[in-house]
Chains A and B, each alone.
Chain A
Amino acid sequence: MKAAHDTYAPSKRWRLPTFGHFATLLGAVIVATAFLVAVFAPYLTPHDPFAQDLNLRLIPPIWMEGSQATHLLGTDQIGRDYLSRLIYGTRISVLIGVLTVVTSGIIGITLGILGGFYGGRIDAVVMFVITCRLSIPLILVALTVVALVGSSLTVVILTLGLLLWERFAVVARTTTMQVRNLDYIAAAQAAGASRAHILLREVLPNIANHLVVVATLEMALAILLEAALSFLGLGVPQPLPSWGLMIAEAKEYMFFSPWVIVAPGVALFILVLGINLLGDGLRDMLRADLRQWRS
């Protein structure tokens, strides 16, 4: 019966692949668009995102009454063009996402590969460090550090990077354990390759797929966390147009003009959704079941 199951079970593979493909494609398009917008922000903005005009405060977006054609999404509480700020905000989110993932990736992957490859005591230490990290209340510590060091983009990136590595470590560790015993690793060892060579040239490329999936998840998480920190006033400093900060600033006015919190929130939502869609698509392509560990 076992054999029969092996032969017939993969029935789910053929079910409606188009939905998954469409979703992945949509994710890729969203992410690519966000990157392009971030890079070419200065050429896309109709106004200076920092230019205030107190005569043009809280102008509603174009589809509402009292709007002005020059401000498609209206203006904020001190008359800055909302669309321009939103476009520049893409820069901040993308930058946070990418740099945080690079920082946390380096930390987490190093720890994970060391633990997974060497096992024993080293692994026990790595597991312990991961447990400790999980026990630390993330947002609280990030807030504290930013409060103490002073808020700036660099501080936020470093703080998040130093805190968000545990999923990289967990996945790198388990996947390294899986490839460690494969023949080519043994062959490389037998051929006298150095440890560093084996880890970087043999192990890392073979677990890279899984790490890419983690990277998407972490990028999404980093972007959301930055927004939350900025929202609480301890993230990216004013007057930078971080979406979280925009929501925080708009909060005072949302009772009278609710649309002010809509635009940055939706932007955040779409970008994170795009990254997650892309990540899910990559994971499905991987097919090897990357354990859903706190997904």
Chain B
Amino acid sequence: MALVMPNAVLSIANLRVSFPRMEAVRGVSLALNRGEVHCVVGESGCGKSISALSVMNLLPRGAVRSADHIRFHEHDLLGMSERQMARLRGDKIAMIFQEPMTSLNPAYTVGSQMAEVFERHRRTTRRQALDRAAELLARVGITAPGMRLAQYPHQLSGGLRQRMMIAMALMCDPELLIADEPTTALDVTVQAQILRLLHKLQQEMGLALLLITHDFGIVARMAQRVSVMYAGEVVESGPVEQIFKAPTHPYTRGLLDCIPVPGVTKAGEPLGSIPGVVPRIAPGFLGCGFRDRCTLATAECAETMRLRDAGADHFYRCRLPPNWKQGTAP
């Protein structure tokens, strides 16, 4: 892939994750600079979460991961032992998850769960760790942090829990934050607050943020770069403005047609939808995963599809030329 970024915080090249009966991720490459927000967007089951978990090496059992490299700064995560990985996790690389309800241990207090990360990586006393936890709770906008520290997860609302998850992830000042659909399980109003918070913290701390989402609205608000995933592949990738301005892959266009864009979508105009569902990719599958749902598919689409350069740091994986027009496509 042409995305060579020598100073990248995270760089993934040709990541593949397979399960005994399916290929979840098929050659994903992406890179992320310091202070950058990179969104991976796609429908559920497209492999975006699995890609994110691959970085942390937290894949579910039965998953086999391989890649040319998964690099965090100059360290190759692929070759790291579980012990070395554990030292990075929660310290330099942190992750937050979709379900704040189930992602916290019901048996321990907020304070205990936050403090243990700090104790683990910074070798501090419980007292110091709790002070740090209180500081971060305040930072994520939780009032009366002292009281919250003594509470159990079930005593908090979903929004509070997700704030707490974010605070917990930031305990050790990570350089890279991976957020896997951090707002999907929350109410719409809370979603907006959490996004604003993430955005603010990302800016303040200069975090590299890998944000997994299915929502192009979030992409528009947060990201500098976006990678669109479908059936285990990145089908299109580029700077956000570029993708919104000139989406090239039929799938990206389909996705963007599904959401109203202020100033572009005209009132009364029907929103699009893509018929069909994401296929399950069996081992040995070749070609474009989208071809069964694509109205423009030809025999060519069943062959291995190379990544094409559309210029301006914008890449896509389709037989069609850049700037193809609906209706005129060959």
Given contacts A1-B98, A2-B99, A3-B44, is CB(A8)–CB(B19) below 8 Å?
yes
Which chain B residues lie closer than 8 Å to A4 at the CB level?
24, 44-45, 49-50, 60
A3 touches B19 (CB 8 A): no
Is A43 interfacial (CB-CB < 8 Å)? no
Whether the pair B44, A8 counts as a contact (CB closer than 8 A) is no
Residue picked from B20, B45, B62, most chain A C-beta under 10 Å: B62
User: On chain B, which size bracket covers the interface?
Assistant: 20 to 34
> Does B116 touch A at the CB level, under 8 Å?
no
CB distance A11 to B98 under 8 Å? no
Interface residues of A in 1-15 (CB under 8 A from B): 1-5, 7-9, 11-12, 14
Q: Is the CB of B60 within 8 A of A9?
A: yes
Using an 8 Å CB-CB cutoff, how does the interface string of A5-40 with B read, 1 for contact, 0 for none? Answer: 101110110100000000000000000000000000
User: Chain A interface: which size bin?
Assistant: 10 to 19
Q: Complex: how many Å from CA A272 to CA B53?
A: 46
Which residues of B have CB within 8 Å of A14?
20-21
SS class, residues of chain A in contact with chain B: helix
Taking CB atoms, residues of chain B closer than 8 Å to A11 are 19-20, 60-62
| Nearest B-chain residue to A11, judged by Cβ | B62
Contact A5 B20 (CB under 8 A): no
B residues within 8 A CB of A5? 60
Is B60 touching A8 in the complex (CB atoms < 8 A)? yes
A7 CA / B50 CA spacing, docked (Å): 11
B230 at the interface (CB under 8 A from A): no
Q: Which residues of B contact A9 (CB under 8 A)?
A: 60
**Contact bitstring B56-85, A, C-beta under 8 A = 1, else 0:** 000011110000000000000000000000
CA distance A14 to B50 in the complex (A): 21
Contacts of A7 on B, CB cut-off 8 Å?
Answer: 45, 280
In angstroms, how far is the closest chain A Cβ from the Cβ of B15? Answer: 15
Quick one: given A8-B24, A8-B62, A14-B20, are A1 and B97 in contact (CB under 8 Å)?
yes
Mark B308-329 against chain A: 1 for CB-CB distance below 8 A, else 0: 0000000000000000000000
Could you list which residues of chain A lie within 8 angstroms of chain B, going by C-beta atoms? 1-5, 7-9, 11-12, 14
With A1-B97, A4-B50, A14-B21 given, name 12 new contacts (CB 8 A).
A1-B49, A1-B99, A1-B181, A2-B99, A4-B45, A4-B60, A8-B22, A8-B24, A8-B60, A8-B63, A11-B20, A11-B60
**Sampled A-B contacts (23; CB under 8 Å):** A1-B53, A1-B180, A1-B181, A2-B98, A2-B99, A3-B44, A3-B49, A4-B44, A4-B49, A4-B50, A5-B60, A7-B280, A8-B22, A8-B24, A8-B50, A8-B60, A8-B63, A11-B19, A11-B20, A11-B60, A11-B61, A12-B61, A14-B21
